[in-house]
A = this chain, B = another copy of it.
Amino acid sequence: MGCVNHMKEESCESLVMNGQNGQTDVLEPHEWRHKTIVAGVEWKNPVGTASGTFQLDACGDYYDVSQLGVICTKGVSPVPWEGNPAPRTAESPAGMVNAVGLQNPGVDHYLVDELPRLKKLGATVVTNVAGHSDEDYAQVVEKLADSSADMLEINVSCPNVSHGGMSVGTDPKALHRLIANLRAMTDKPMIVKLSPNVTDIVEIAHAAVDAGVDALSLINTLVGMRFDIETGKPIIANRTGGVSGPAIFPIGLGFVWRVRQALPTIPIIGIGGIDSGEKALEYLYAGANAVEVGAASLIDPTAPVRVARELDDLLDSRPDLAAKLANGQTW
């Protein structure tokens, strides 16, 4: 599947970007050979979903969620958020721009609905936490502290919400304060998800680590937009949005590599443009301990499982790397 041409080819090259593979049967049961450990939590393979591109009621129809390393759920806020008006998305070359604006039914609903259902299905769950202010984040983390979530991922990097959100992720002092506060509230393994829209990612990463987070995930989307050729107006109602997809792949790698050079031991989850086992592997080379698949899931529901299968195969012939992952060792 995913032939580059609409041709009558018996053998045809898979899409560089879409990377579908008719041979990997993502639905057959699979014995995972290469696990990873992120901040003490075992992932059965190094591949998870990226927040905002997974909804149980949609993705669960296509694959067994317990097959993935983790399921990282859509950002949850203290109360239901309605997000931005439509249109919320536009295409860009090998990518997309979105301004969903963190629409979600709120943490209380999450705790009685999506989270217990995911756990019942056997998923390892990373709960992505959204907020407009320090208090927002604190309220959500407080409610999650005794939940069955396996890890928390604090999103301080969404470019699509008007207050807080991105600014916390771009100011090392504000970030340190926020994280130190949340850290005191729970022992759950805590990840901070960083923004690429900064001058000095290493300074931000240091602030988060100094404040006590257990792991970093990067990158979130880059600010971008599109215009309608006819009207001359921005396509997305919010005007700007976040760019994701294969287009940002080399950029995400660059961020992970720079943070890994500066912080040799912090667990890192690499995100950005991953749609194949090979692209996931490049993130591991850059220094990631695991990855999350985002936009690729939107154009192929089973993409994260396929990426995990392909990576499992690639790791067979890379025993040193596989051993490091399995030991939760960073390098």
Q: Which residues of A contact B (CB under 8 A)?
A: 5-7, 16-17, 90, 92-95, 97, 170, 197-200, 222-227, 229, 232-234, 239-240, 243, 245-251, 253-255, 257-258, 273, 278, 281-282, 285-286, 318, 321
Report Cα–Cα, A251/B90, bound state, in Å.
13
Most chain B CB neighbours (cut-off 10 Å) among A93, A255, A286: A93
Q: Closest CB of chain B to A295's CB: distance in Å?
A: 11
- B282 A257 Cβ-Cβ under 8 A: no
Q: Closest CB of chain B to A285's CB: distance in Å?
A: 4
Q: A198-B199, A240-B254 are in contact. Are A93 and B246 (CB under 8 A)?
A: yes
Most chain B CB neighbours (cut-off 10 Å) among A222, A223, A247: A247
- A321 B5 Cβ-Cβ under 8 A: no
As for how many copies of this chain the complex holds, the number is: 2
Report Cα–Cα, A158/B257, bound state, in Å.
19
- B247 A94 Cβ-Cβ under 8 A: yes
- A248 B250 Cβ-Cβ under 8 A: no
- B225 A254 Cβ-Cβ under 8 A: yes
Q: Closest CB of chain B to A218's CB: distance in Å?
A: 13
Contacts of A95 in B (CB 8 A): 93-94, 247, 250
Report Cα–Cα, A216/B198, bound state, in Å.
20
**24 interchain pairs (CB within 8 A)?**
A5-B6, A7-B7, A16-B93, A17-B94, A90-B250, A92-B246, A92-B249, A93-B94, A93-B246, A93-B247, A93-B273, A94-B246, A97-B250, A197-B199, A199-B199, A225-B257, A225-B286, A226-B282, A227-B281, A227-B286, A229-B278, A229-B282, A243-B254, A247-B248
Report Cα–Cα, A212/B6, bound state, in Å.
54
Contacts of A233 in B (CB 8 A): 285
Report Cα–Cα, A25/B185, bound state, in Å.
67
Report Cα–Cα, A92/B253, bound state, in Å.
11
- B227 A93 Cβ-Cβ under 8 A: no
Contacts of A248 in B (CB 8 A): 247
Q: Closest CB of chain B to A294's CB: distance in Å?
A: 14
- A250 B232 Cβ-Cβ under 8 A: no
Picked from B94, B229, B253, the residue with its CB within 8 Å of the CB of A226 is B253
Report Cα–Cα, A323/B95, bound state, in Å.
33
Q: Closest CB of chain B to A174's CB: distance in Å?
A: 12
Q: A95-B250, A199-B199, A247-B94 are in contact. Are A239 and B257 (CB under 8 A)?
A: yes
